[in-house]
Structure 1
Amino acid sequence: MKHSLQIIGATDIVDLPELGWFNVPVRIDSGATTSSIHCSRVKLIKEGEQIQLQFYLDKKKGAPQESFIVDEFKETFVRNSSGKEEKRYVIKTKIKIFGKKIRTEFSLANRRKMQYPILLGRKLLKNRFLIDVSQKNLSASKLSSASKRLKSDE
């Protein structure tokens, strides 16, 4: 049986609980295969025999002011918004949207000049969401409405 798809707008607000980053503005991008997250100072480091990936999130958009080190990552080539192919690292982490936690992949990109530090792409959207570009922040609105209802019931 097919389940119904959640309507998502052109933008929203999400949490990345494993990275300690909350209320992050995101742009929905059905043209992007993989979701991407703005990072800086992305580099490989060697810890003994193991190679790890170190990166920093966008503290100007409210991210923790610390570096993150992950053991599990992959390297891929992505065509950027200019059509140019570039090497990127991809990590997996959980995103919280519409009250649900979803483990998904994010390519680590330099989005410094972009308004939104995170893009949500097709791999995350597929079989979960239907995009209504006339709407925005539906997940954030739904959670805030539910919170108001709970408080009025008390």
Structure 2
Amino acid sequence: MKVLAILSSLLLGTAPMAYVHAEESKQSPERIPETLGFVEWVVMNDTGVRLKARLDTGAKTSSLHATNVEEFTRNDEKWVRFQLPLGDHEDQPTKGKIEHDEVVLEFERPIHRTIRIKRKGAESQRRHVVRMDFCIAGTIHETQFSLTDRGNFSYPVLLGRRFMRDDNILTDSANSFIAQKECEYSTLEEIAKLDIEEAEVKVQ
């Protein structure tokens, strides 16, 4: 049994109650700099899914693991549909009732822009970029994520310089998981049973 959670209906809704205590990012140069490790936990704000993120000053744009990326049109605007298979990294806490590879999250988001990535020894790659909210170190942020298959990488999320610059984040390249605050997250079972008002859950 595979649970496919369709999350497009969350676009105009509010974040789950688990996140009401998270601080909103000021996104201002006056914000006091915060130092985080080169690897930290992030929680995608509309799902409660917890993922490992690498803070990488070598990348300008952040990126998010995505498979089956498909462009489509909605109300004369360009949107993108993509999946996040939780079995590719298995970072989500579970009570053992459901296996990670049984849960696939499907998102639909407006396309913010499209970029072309030059790869050494290979053809350039076209990637869609979307804006998404997430929580790190107890604070909610919004940034641009390019969508790419990161299934062969250790970290499903990469946070780049644009996020660190906009939110006044410094990174400690010698340490990981040093955030002083945590973000609340859902268990694998809770994600699979998202409230019908927040997501349409289909069993395949």
Superposed pair shares fold, TM > 0.5: yes
Give the counterpart of 1:16 among 24, 29, 44: 44
Residue aligning to 1:98: 137
Q: Does 1:137 align with 2:177?
A: yes
Give the % identical residues.
Answer: 23
CA drift at 1:74:
1.8
TM superposition shift of 1:137: 1.0
In structure 1, what is the equivalent of residue 33 of structure 2? 5
- Residues 54 and 75 from structure 1, CA distance in 2 versus in 1: closer, same or farther, beyond 3 angstroms? same
Moved more, 73-82 or 86-95: 73-82
The one-letter code of the counterpart of 1:86 is Q
Shift of 1:49: 4.3
State the alpha-carbon separation in 1 of the partners of residues 146 and 41 from structure 2.
19
How many corresponding residue pairs? 142
**Of 42, 46, 53, the match for 2:80:** 53
Higher helix share: 1
TM-score between the two structures when normalised by the length of structure 2: 0.61
Among 60, 68, 74, which residue is 1:41 paired with? 68
Tell me how large the CA RMSD over aligned residues is: 2.6
Q: Which stretch has the larger CA shift, 115-124 or 57-66? A: 57-66
- 2:124 maps to 85
Gaps of 5+ in 1: 145-154
Distance 1:57 1:11, change over 3 A: same
User: Does the 8 A contact of 1:28 with 1:121 survive in 2?
Assistant: yes
Residues 82 and 116 (structure 1 numbering): CA distance in 2 closer, same or farther, change over 3 Å? farther
Asked whether the equivalents of residues 37 and 177 of structure 2 are also in contact (C-alpha less than 8 Å), the reply is yes
Q: Using the TM superposition, name which of 53-62 and 6-15 deviates more.
A: 53-62
What SS does the corresponding residue of 1:52 show, helix, strand or coil?
strand
Paired amino acid for 1:131: T
Measured against aligned partners, the alpha-carbon deviations of 1:129-153 in whole angstroms (never above 9, x if no partner) come to 11111111122x5339xxxxxxxxx
Question: Any unmatched runs of 5+ in structure 2?
Answer: 1-28, 93-99, 184-204
Distance 1:27 1:52 in 2: 27
Q: Residue deviations 1:41-67, cap 9 Å, x none?
A: 001124464442110013213486232
Q: Do the aligned partners of residues 11 and 73 (structure 1) sit closer, same or farther apart at CA in structure 2, a change above 3 Å counting?
A: same
1:7/1:84 CA distance change after superposition, 3 Å: farther
